[in-house]
Amino acid sequence: MAPSHVLKCCQRVLAWVPVVFIALVVAWSYYAYVVELCAFTITSTGEKVVYLVVFHLSFVMFVWSYWKTIFTSPASPSDEFCLSKSDKEQYEREERPESQQDILRRAAKDLPIYTTTASRAIRYCDRCQLIKPDRCHHCSACDLCVLKMDHHCPWVNNCVGFSNYKFFLLFLLYSLLYCLFVAATVLQYFIKFWTLCRRKSAENCPKNDLPDSHAKFHVLFLFFVAAMFFISILSLFSYHCWLVSKNRSTIEAFRAPTFRNGPDKNGFSLGCSKNLKEVFGDEKKYWLLPVFTSLGDGCNFPTRLVIMDPEQLTVSSQNEPAKSSGANQPFPVRPLSESQNRLLDNESQWVEGGSEEENVKSGAKKHVIVSLES
Ligand SMILES: [Zn+2]
Ligand SMILES: [Zn+2]
């Protein structure tokens, strides 16, 4: 076997170390809670039953969402984003970047693409040999282009993107609830054991109804570990809640996507409640279940800016200087998609220079900006 293959195999095995670590901590926490706390420490049957029922509920939801985050394959762009054989050959033959861009621009003409690189070039992945859809990025760890890529997470050894972002959020939510429940219910026993330990060390230990066994060790550590994980996950979860409310990925939070009028960090934001639905779906009953309900296909995203007619760029660029910078580079545009039409149906629209109806009647071609923020 070639050394590079051995190295790759080692890397693949090592990538599972954080996942195995988490799995071992979770397995230990299950044993410590169910056996050491509920079976050996708690004496009241009613308390035991309530604790065990709620514990298993949060445990199942946590493991389920964690499992789905790890084992849901990242979604990749469909074949329509790959260059045709002749285009690919021509692209490889060309050495000048301008000519290569011409080929890409021609190939991207009918694709649902709104964003470019910061330098106004078509986003192309040399590695996967495809035109990147909006919000798609190449992950070097997975070595593929991932739709609506958020980040590559070592704790799940997977890319977090369009196919599993909802699962990832639920994994954070249920791990928070799991840690919170464990820490809250263990607290009173933690205090009892802790004071018992301290009194013993002071050689002034009164009789205590708690079993002085190895349960003490598990209960003390259970509290520390649950509290520690709760605090560290809380900030990450809060950050992702903010990202969801803005319909922004982690990558986009650091580098705003470039639209026709320049970089716009809110380019995909449709208003808080619609942004939430983009990730969790239309039906609220599925929101808390780790089943896939995100809207769209991962390639085609509704944006705040809807181009009605690309030929009349000058109309809108008069008022917005940023737009004119790309005017000499034709931008790939798409017809209004179904998803956009759905959004347009119910939302108020603001049309530059009069109502949309008037413009359509008079044949005036305008750049329509859909005001979706409520
Ligand atoms: Zn790629
Ligand atoms: Zn990845």
* Model pLDDT for residues 157-182, shown as the tens digit of each residue: 999 999 999 999 999 999 999 999 99
Residue 225 Cα distances to 78, 178, 220, angstroms: 43, 12, 9
Residue 117 — φ and ψ, nearest 5°? -75, 170
Residues ≥6 apart with Cβ < 8 Å to 166: 279, 280, 281, 290, 292, 293, 294
Q: Considering every ligand atom, which ligand is closest to the CA of 159? A: 2
Pairing status of strand 258-259 against strand 151-153: unpaired
Query: Is residue 196 scored above 80 in pLDDT?
Result: no
pLDDT digits (tens, 9 = 90+) for 278-301: 999 999 999 999 999 999 999 999
Q: Considering every ligand atom, which ligand is closest to the CA of 128? A: 1
Name the burial class of residue 283, with classes exposed (0-12), middle (13-18) and buried (19+) by CB atoms within 10 angstroms of its CB. exposed
Q: Considering every ligand atom, which ligand is closest to the CA of 140? A: 2
Mean pLDDT of the chain: 81
* Closest-CA residue to 205 (of 217, 193, 191, 190): 193
pLDDT confidence tier of residue 138, bands split at 50, 70 and 90: very high
The whole-number pLDDT of residue 347 equals 33
Query: Is residue 98 scored above 70 in pLDDT?
Result: yes
How far does the centroid of ligand 1 lie from the alpha carbon of residue 151, in Å? 14
How far does the centroid of ligand 2 lie from the alpha carbon of residue 29, in Å? 29
How far does the centroid of ligand 1 lie from the alpha carbon of residue 102, in Å? 20
Instruction: Return the ∠ at Cα 52 (arms to 209 and 47), rounded to 5°.
Output: 40
Taking a 5 Å cut-off on Cβ, the residues next to ion ligand 2 are: 139, 141-142, 152, 159
pLDDT confidence tier of residue 364, bands split at 50, 70 and 90: very low
Query: Is residue 306 scored above 90 in pLDDT?
Result: no
Query: Is residue 151 scored above 60 in pLDDT?
Result: yes
The whole-number pLDDT of residue 373 equals 37
Q: Considering every ligand atom, which ligand is closest to the CA of 138? A: 1
Q: Considering every ligand atom, which ligand is closest to the CA of 73? A: 2
The reported pTM is 0.79
Instruction: Please give the radius of gyration of the chain, using alpha carbons only, rounded to the nearest integer.
Output: 27
The whole-number pLDDT of residue 294 equals 96
Lowest mean pLDDT among 87-101, 175-189, 340-354: 340-354
How far does the centroid of ligand 1 lie from the alpha carbon of residue 260, in Å? 23
Q: Considering every ligand atom, which ligand is closest to the CA of 136? A: 1
How far does the centroid of ligand 2 lie from the alpha carbon of residue 137, in Å? 10
Query: Is residue 15 scored above 90 in pLDDT?
Result: yes
The whole-number pLDDT of residue 331 equals 44
How far does the centroid of ligand 2 lie from the alpha carbon of residue 119, in Å? 25
How far does the centroid of ligand 1 lie from the alpha carbon of residue 144, in Å? 4
Share of the chain above pLDDT 90, in %: 62
How far does the centroid of ligand 2 lie from the alpha carbon of residue 233, in Å? 21
The whole-number pLDDT of residue 214 equals 77
Q: Which of 145, 153, 179, 299 is catalytic?
A: 153
**Annotation marks residue 82 as catalytic:** no
How far does the centroid of ligand 2 lie from the alpha carbon of residue 373, in Å? 32
How far does the centroid of ligand 2 lie from the alpha carbon of residue 2, in Å? 24
C-alpha–C-alpha distance, residues 51 and 33, integer Å: 9
How far does the centroid of ligand 1 lie from the alpha carbon of residue 249, in Å? 18
The whole-number pLDDT of residue 70 equals 97
